[in-house]
Amino acid sequence: MWNPRRIGIDLDGVIIDHREHKRMLAEEYGFALEPWQTNSNIMRQHVPGEVFDTMQTDLYGSLTRKAPAVAGALQLLPSLKAEVYIVSSRRAGSIRHAQDWLLSHRVYDSVPAERIFFCGTDGEKRGYCDRLGIDLFLDDKISVLEGLGAKTKRVLFDEDGIARHLNAEERFTVAKTWDEFVVLANGKVHA
Ligand SMILES: [Mg+2]
């Protein structure tokens, strides 16, 4: 199958699960969202721009520390048979909260700090993937995957099952769970 040598993985929405916090914050601001409406590809459609921006600041600030891991992420990261990189678009002010989370969840045990990159904007991910020679990238945002270069295979992480509503199933390989992603990435069905 693919046999990637270097796998890149997004952080927020793929390793860190913000869905409950998003739902909770939206409610505080007066918007009752179904869990799927908090999906990063569509949440902007369900809350006004200024609320969305304030929510981003909260989510990627100190609230990050209280966010759970995405189901299976921490257990299955070490089982990937490739060099694993984390490439996040977090900006300077929110990086330390991500680092606290990575430390407290012992992610550095499986992905060393020198393979973790914070690039500031979604658009920068392409440059990082190209420079690092990432041949497979996992992200929960369609726009990020669309922006990657031709040498990087793309997998959409889609816990909410919304790919089919956004016509993303035809364009990207979809992994609904970490189990599915590991099967795709390692190139065979594992026991
Ligand atoms: Mg993400």
- Provide CATH code, domain 6-16+69-186: 3.40.50.1000
In whole angstroms, give the CA distance from residue 146 to residue 86. 18
- Does the pLDDT value for residue 188 go beyond 70? no
Helix (H) or strand (E) holding 146: helix 142-147
Query: What is the residue-averaged pLDDT of the chain?
Result: 94
Tens-place pLDDT, residues 128-167: 999 999 999 999 999 999 999 999 999 999 999 999 888 8
Is the pTM higher than 0.85? The answer reads yes
Ligand 1 centroid – CA 158 distance (Å)? 11
Intervals of CATH 3.40.50.1000 along the chain: 6-16+69-186
Instruction: Give the pLDDT band of residue 17 (cuts 50, 70, 90).
Output: very high
> Which CA distances in Å does 78 have to 16, 87, 132?
16, 16, 19
* Token pair belonging to 22: 């998003």
Ligand 1 centroid – CA 18 distance (Å)? 10
In whole angstroms, give the CA distance from residue 84 to residue 103. 17
Ligand 1 centroid – CA 1 distance (Å)? 25
- Amino acid at the residue 93: G
Ligand 1 centroid – CA 140 distance (Å)? 5
With beta carbons less than 8 A apart as the criterion, state whether 144 and 10 touch. yes
Tens-place pLDDT, residues 24-61: 999 999 999 998 999 999 999 999 999 999 999 999 99
